[in-house]
Amino acid sequence: MGYLVYFSIVRAKLVVNSPYNQRQDAYAQSVIRGKLVDKNGNTLAETVVDEDGNESRNYPYGELFAHVIGYSNDKLGKTGLESVENFELLTSNAFFIEKLKNEFSETKNMGDTVVTTLDADLQQAAYQALGENKGAVVVMEAATGKILAMVSKPAYDPNNIVAAWSDLNSDDTNSPLLNRATQGSYAPGSTFKVVTALSYIRQNASYRDYTYDCNGEITEGDITIHCFGGHAHGQEDLRSSFANSCNASFANIGLQLDISQYKKTAEDMLFNKALPGDLNTSKSSFALDSSSGSGEIMMTAMGQGKTTVSPYHMALIAEAVANGGTVMQPYLVEYVTNYTGTQIRKNVPKSYKKVMTSDEAAQLKEYMSAVVEEGTGSVLRGRSYTVAGKTGTAEYSMSDGEKTHSWFMGFTNVDNPELVISVITEGSDGSSSGKAVSIAGEILDSYYN
């Protein structure tokens, strides 16, 4: 009896929404699949019924929302919110007299409408700002966890998913079906220095006394780490090491850390753990242990090595700093209404986990502000809004030479944080390492101006 109660309250919706549950589509025999709309009521997905009663799923924005909204197709199944909210979309809370009348006339009921947290204007801005780059953008409300935009490129047009299916699945070069925002697995580059700095702060009460004289490189054994472009930063404390994104200084910091405590800090920040949220996400990896050599430790401390992370996860870390150490439960659905607009269910913001103390968050906020005010993110300085953040360049080798991923993660209105943003572009050359921060600026300008 206890399990039946638990199942009804906790598990039932998960089972009904499971893509492996073939019975869920039986609802479609009596319900026309409902709409998905953005926060302002713009239609993102709807079912169109022709004169002969044939139904087809229509996506007015084409590939703009392809990965976050997903697709619903009788032959190919469902992805994104089309899958997550399948039960709601195939449920009708129309007025009972109308439903009774429809039953007698053998007419289908209209499914409920799912109102998402997404902002079509901001999504469009993020999509345009990414341009022809492979990559992803995530924008969230810092205080609530609402996801306002989620873009992944290359994308696909869900209106043509059946015709393009073979080509989409065989395109290993571009992987257009992959949601890079939540399932991409990348070296974080210098954005990971947020985690390294936090671990050093936790392990050293006198962290404000840290000093390092950077001559552009550091050597330990037979391993030499270079600062970007071989730049010698000179005398630095922890704040300036962070603002300048000094690889040599952070490699030096990594060698001073207790690795077991370093790993604990990373796992406090949700590495090696399932991430909260509505969509399927990749698990980020922190691989250091007691057997790790000095070279691997130095590489990890500066965001290279075997560490991997998704843009979505980096947004959660930025949110934690913005919120005084708290990660809010991320969500994509604002509320559900019946087709006439009567509200059925509403989601409310709630805390997911406290991952650092408010003092630690305040210190990291100061360092991230320094990145913009005097460091590698200075392109965002002097705008109509303030920004704190961290840039990153993750190097990797390709058959045609060394390439880099360009990163930016951060938040706006530093004193009273409003938006969290995470951006990655794949495969930049060394001269365009700041590409992600420029894209972030273009997106934020569109929102505020």
Q: What is the pLDDT of residues 349-370, one digit of tens each?
A: 999 999 999 999 999 999 999 9
List pLDDT tens digits, range 159-211. Answer: 999 999 999 999 999 999 999 999 999 999 999 999 999 999 999 999 999 99
pLDDT above 70 for 443? yes
Res. 53 pLDDT band, cuts 50 70 90: confident
pTM over 0.85: yes
Neighbours of 210 (CB within 10 A): 19
Nearest-angstrom CA–CA distance, 336 and 91: 11
pLDDT above 90 for 118? yes
Tokens representing residue 381 in the block: 């300085």
* pLDDT value at residue 47: 96
Rounded to 5 degrees, what are φ and ψ at 228?
-60, 125
CA geometry: angle 308, 313, 316, nearest 5 deg: 145
* pLDDT value at residue 104: 77
Tell me the longest C-alpha to C-alpha distance in the chain: 82
Helix count and strand count (H, E) for the chain = 17, 21
The bridge status of strand 109-110 relative to strand 31-32 is parallel
* pLDDT value at residue 196: 98
**Scanning the structure block, which residue is given the tokens 């995470």?**
422
The bridge status of strand 55-58 relative to strand 43-49 is antiparallel
Nearest-angstrom CA–CA distance, 211 and 204: 13
Nearest-angstrom CA–CA distance, 182 and 161: 21
Nearest-angstrom CA–CA distance, 60 and 53: 20
- Residue 139, judged by CB atoms within 10 A of its CB (0-12, 13-18, 19+), counts as buried
Residues 112/91, Cβ–Cβ less than 8 Å: yes
Residues 419/142, Cβ–Cβ less than 8 Å: yes
Nearest-angstrom CA–CA distance, 417 and 423: 18
